[in-house]
Amino acid sequence: MANLWRLWKILFVFTRYRLDSLVPVQQLPVWLRVMLWLAPWRFFPVPSRLTRGERLRLALEALGPIFIKFGQILSTRPDLVPEDIVKELKRLQDDVPPFPNDKARALIEEQLGKTVAELFAEFSAEPMASASIAQVHAARLFGEHGQPGKEVVVKVVRPGIEHTIERDLRLLETMARLLVKYSAEGRRLKPMEVVEDYRATIHGELNLQIEASNCTQLRRNFEGSDLLYLPEVYWEYTRSRVMVSERIYGIPVADLEQLHAQNTHMKTLAERGVEIFFTQVFRDSFFHADMHPGNIFVSRENPQKPQYIAIDCGIVGSLTEEDQTYLAMNMLAFFNQDYHQVAQLHVDSGWVPATTKVHELASAIRAVLEPIFEKPLAEISFGQVLIQLFSTARRFNMEVQPQLVLLQKTLLNIEGLGRQLYPELDLWSTAKPYLERWMRERFGPKAAFREFKRQLPSWLDKGPQIPNLIHGALTRLNHMDDTQHALQQEIIALRKEMSEQRKQKRNQLQGGIAVITGLFVWWQSFALGLPESLGLAVTAIGILSLILR
């Protein structure tokens, strides 16, 4: 019932803001175009006082946090979404309507066990920013020895947001089940796994202690680095619904006017964003997976070598060593235009079925990529390349890899951000040297020596046991023939017993049929005037046969 009500609300919002006018009708099948043309909402006028970007933003806001997240992703893709819509969707990054101050204070006091006046020397009633999951207030801690306290930000989760998110997740699960049940294409996309991964991700965002631990880990990974800075978390003021962290004073990464005003080196800034992404993915296997412009700032220090500042670490991702290796090898083969290697890696990694003909997949990938490589690199969108590759891969039953969904989303965010900062960004030439260096470090002589040193203590510990292990293995090999012979004898005996049982059941069935036939003949003898003795004789023969069998 809740799902039906939610579907009704989605349809109501769709109708109210006439989102059908944003659909590229000319690209749809004829039957779907006819259905849209006959739809009842066409009788409602398109709100003339609102632009199409405003209508889409207001609709996403009305539908709640999961839809707002979707809008945030779209806002970073000016190469995929019209500029006027992107401009409006950027407001979803930190300009969602806030919830009342008294509710925020009540939640802080409930979580930390003290009044706001006891916890903070200063506390701003108006939120600095308000997003889909939480909002942030400026505050100041109490100082010591007459010194002013540290400036901090207090993040508070929206009251009751858990219920809204759980309702939307149940709706997504219902839609995923329908896809799996009725669509082969839907099963290939693994919608249930994707929804389950998103459930884990969104619940991680709701627990601010998880976000605080993610921020602490990322801060540790980039300690002393001039590439990325993470604010310090104050754990004594942090709980599951409240988090207090250091206040930073950077320039919002989307504020190009301020960045140019301080003479920021934009090419370096864009390239450093790419380097940070690949460092997190391949060096640390722990990456910030919500890098939309609302969560990224630029330090005001050293504009010629600008440092990024990241906040809101509620969503992070990681890859296994196997996925890291296959991903790096795929990208390098992709950069080197080695399409056969790309196809072979897809088969080896299990991303496409093992029965896939590699040369056919390589040919399909080549058909997509060759025209792209003829263009100047500055005109190529990696996001567009991914979309075309996924479309091609559907022909070969390529399955969605849930563990890579966050990575793909983050890569699209990074490229979209880089294009905004420096339109001539060459993502490929920036990434390729890093990947080549990582592969050398991963599989070169130094890496082999590091792995040897890492494993050496374990080998030394197990060294004294090796002679006994070898002796035990050889003993088992010597007795293997006897064991196999005993197993064969047991199998023969089992087969014989099963054969006897089948024969006995067949005989019993035949005897039973004879008895039933005799009784039937005896009963029919009254109706047909046949000798009664005939039926009795057949019955007797059947009973005797059953006893003998």
Catalytic positions are 290
Distance, in Å, from the CA atom of 160 to the CA atom of 162, rounded to the nearest integer, reads 5
Question: By the 8 A CB rule, do 88 and 188 touch?
Answer: no
Query: How many angstroms separate the CA atoms of 536 and 489, rounded?
Result: 48
The partner residues of 298 in beta bridges, in order of sequence, read 251, 308
The C-alpha atoms of residue 142 and residue 251 are separated, in whole angstroms, by: 27
Report d(CA 253, CA 276) in Å as an integer. 15
SS (H, E, C) 44-90: CCCCCCCCHHHHHHHHHHHHCHHHHHHHHHHCCCCCCCCHHHHHHHH
**C-alpha of 109 from chain center:** 35
Query: Pick from 186, 301, 158: which is nearest to 242 by CA?
Result: 158
Place of tokens 């046991």: 465
CA atoms within 13 A on the CB side of 388: 16
Residues contacting residue 240 through CB under 8 Å, at least 6 positions apart: 111, 207, 208, 209
Quick one: which of 413, 409, 411, 405 has its CA closest to 196?
405
Give me the residue label for tokens 């590759």. Answer: 389
CB-based burial, 40-66: b 16+ in 10 Å, e otherwise: ebeeeeeeeeeebbbbbbbbbbebbbb
Tokens of 416: 């979209």
What residues are paired with 136 via a beta bridge?
Answer: 129, 155
- With b for 16 or more beta-carbon neighbours within 10 A and e for fewer, the 309-333 pattern comes to bbbbbbbbbbbeeebbbbbbbbbbb
Q: Which amino acid is at 547?
A: I
Q: SS3 letters for 397-431?
A: CCCCCHHHHHHHHHHHHHHHHHHHHCCCCCHHHHH
